[in-house]
Amino acid sequence: MAEKFDIQDREVWDGNYAASQALRQARVDVVAAYPITPSTPIVENYGAYVANGYVDGEFVMVESEHAAMSGCVGASAAGGRVATATSSQGFALMAEVLYQASGMRLPIVLTVVNRALASPLNVRGDHADMYMGRDSGWIQMDAFNSQEAYDLTLCAFKIGEDHAVRLPVMVHQDGFITSHTAQNVYPLQDDKAYDFIGDFKPVDDLLDFSRPVTYGAQTEEDWHFEHKAKQHKALMDSRPVIDAVFEEFEKLTGRKYNRVESYNMEDAEVVIVALGTTVETAIVAAQQLREEEGIKAGVVAIRCFRPFPFDQVREALKGAKSIAVLDRSSPGGAMGAFFNEVSAALYTTDTRPLVTNYIYGLGGRDFSIDEAKRIFKEQKAHADAGYITTDIQQFSGLRGPKLGYFQTQRG
C-alpha cells in the first residue's frame, strides 16, 4: 500500500507538479517515460513518488520517447492504467506510436508540455507539437494554467477509459509559461480524486491468459478503412462523454469546463480565438478595451482540440463580425492549421464573419496584452470597413519588416 501523501486544500504548484500529482492520485499502474524539457519534472516528480513509496505502480525508464510510448502501449494492452509525459522532439519521436495507441484503442494519458519543434533548437513553448498530434486519433485537451492542468489530467483518465470511448487522451499545457509558473492550485484529496476517476476496468487485456488476444494486427485494404471509420466514430462519439465528465467534475469541485470556452461573447463584435495561456492574456486585453474604449471584444478558446468542436465553434462565433484566429505554430506553407479549422466551421454559417490569421509567439516569443489589444483593434477596423483591411495572414510580433500573405478580393 502506498504511503499517504499530505496535500493541503490549497497548494502552490506549477503545471508540471500539478500534472504529476494527478498521475499519482490516479494510481497509475505504469509510467514509461523519457525526460525532455519542459515536461521533465512531471516524470521526475513521479519518479520521486515511486522512490518514496507514494505510488504502487511501475516506473519504466526507457531509452527514448519512441520506447516510452511503446512501453505505454504494451502496458495498456496488458490491462493497466498508463500515463506518460513529453514535449516537442520527444513528442515527434513518439509520433509513430501515438497512432498505434489510438488505433488499438488504448486509453493512455499523455501530458504534453507544448514546445517548439526544431530546427532551430528551442526549448520554449509554442504549439507546433500540439498541432503535430492533431490527426493521430487522440483526444486532445488544452489546459491554460496549472489548476486546469491538474483538473484536466484527472478528467482525461475518466474520459479515455470510459468503455464507450476507449481512446488515448493528451492534456496539453504551455511550456514554461504554465509548466514552470507556480500558482495557487486547489487539489482534491487523494480518495476523492481517485473515486472520481474510478477503478481501471480493462477490456481485452493481454494478461488474461484464459482468453489470449492479438494486438496490432495487419489489415491492408480489406479492413483498414473500416477500422479507421470506427475509430473516427469513437472519437466523434466521445463528445457527450467529455461533456458528462466535465459536468461531474463541476459537481465535485465547482469548476466548470466546456469543450469551447467563451468570454464576453454575449455581445462581442470582435473576437480572438486562441489556445493555451494566450487565452488569459486575450481576456485581460478584451476587458481593458471594453472599459477603456468601449470596443466589444470577446474571446473564444478551444478546450477540446480533438474531437474538434465544429458545431460549438460555429455557435460561439455566430454573432461576431470580425475574428482573429491565432496560430502559435509555423504555418508551413499554408494558412495556420487552427485558422483553417475555425474558418471551415464559420464557412458553413449564414453570417460568415471576417476571419484573419495571426501567426504569433513561435519558440516562446512573448504574447503581451498590448499585442492582443492591437489585434482586437485591427479586427475593429475590419468590422467597421466591412472587409479585411490587412493581409489575411499576418505574422505578429516578428522582428523587422512586416510579413503577411493574401488580401481580400473586394469590390
Partner 1 sequence: MQDQNLCAAENRGVKELGGEHVGWDEVTQGIVLTSFNGDATGIVHQKAEERHYSDFNSYTASVASWRVEKPVFNIDVCIDCQNCWVWCPDTSIISRDKQMLGIDYDHCKGCAVCVEVCPTNPKSLLMFSEQTALDTALAAWPEKKKKEDK
Q: How far is the CB of 223 from partner 1 (least distance, A)?
A: 5
Write down the residue that cell numbers 494478461 correspond to. Answer: 207
Of 102 and 281, nearer to partner 1 (C-beta) is: 102
Q: How far is the CB of 10 from partner 1 (least distance, A)?
A: 41
N residues, the chain: 411
Q: How far is the CB of 216 from partner 1 (least distance, A)?
A: 7
- Pick the closer one to partner 1 by CB: 225 or 406: 225
Output 12 or 213, the one with its CB closest to partner 1.
213
How many whole angstroms from its chain centre is CA 139? 8
The count of other CB atoms within 10 Å of the CB of residue 306 is: 21
Shortest Å, Cβ 408 to partner 1: 41
In the complex with partner 1, the residue whose CB is nearer, 222 or 291, is 222
Least distance (Å) between residue 237 CB and partner 1? 12
- Interface ranges with partner 1 (CB under 8 A): 103-106, 166, 203-204, 209-219, 222-223, 225-227, 229-230, 233-234
Nearer to partner 1, 105 or 124 (CB): 105
User: What count of other Cβ atoms lies within 10 Å of the Cβ of residue 381?
Assistant: 13
Q: How far is the CB of 238 from partner 1 (least distance, A)?
A: 14
Residue 269 is given by DSSP the state S
Nearer to partner 1, 213 or 334 (CB): 213
Does the CA dihedral 23-158-30-303 come out positive or negative? negative
Q: Is 278 exposed, middle or buried (0-12, 13-18, 19+ CB in 10 A)?
A: buried
Considering the complex, what minimum distance in angstroms separates the CB of residue 218 from partner 1?
Answer: 7
Q: How far is the CB of 307 from partner 1 (least distance, A)?
A: 17
CB of 58 to partner 1, least distance (A): 23
Q: 319: how many CB neighbours lie within 10 A of its CB?
A: 16
Contacting residues for 16 by C-beta, under 8 A, at least 6 apart:
38, 39, 40, 41, 42, 45, 113, 179, 180
The DSSP bridge pattern shows strands 58-61 and 30-33 to be parallel
Under a CB-based contact definition with an 8 Å cutoff, are residues 129 and 112 in contact?
yes
Residues 6+ apart with CB under 8 A from 394: 356, 357, 358, 359, 402, 403, 404
* CB 181 within 8 Å of CB 14: yes
- The nearer residue to partner 1, 219 or 348, going by C-beta atoms, is 219
Is the CB of 163 or the CB of 410 nearer to partner 1?
A: 163
Nearest CB to partner 1, comparing residues 227 and 255: 227
223 or 406: CB nearest partner 1: 223
Residue 173, helix vs strand vs coil: strand
398, with CB counted inside 10 A (0-12, 13-18, 19+), is middle
228 or 402: whose CB is closer to partner 1? Answer: 228
E strands, 252-381, in order: 260-263, 270-274, 297-302, 304-306, 322-327, 354-360
Least Å distance, CB 158 to partner 1, is 19
Question: How many C-beta neighbours within 10 Å does residue 410 have?
Answer: 9
Provide the Cα torsion 147, 149, 151, 157; round to 10°.
-170
Q: Minimum distance from CB of 224 to partner 1 (Å)?
A: 9
85 contacts 43 by C-beta, under 8 angstroms: yes
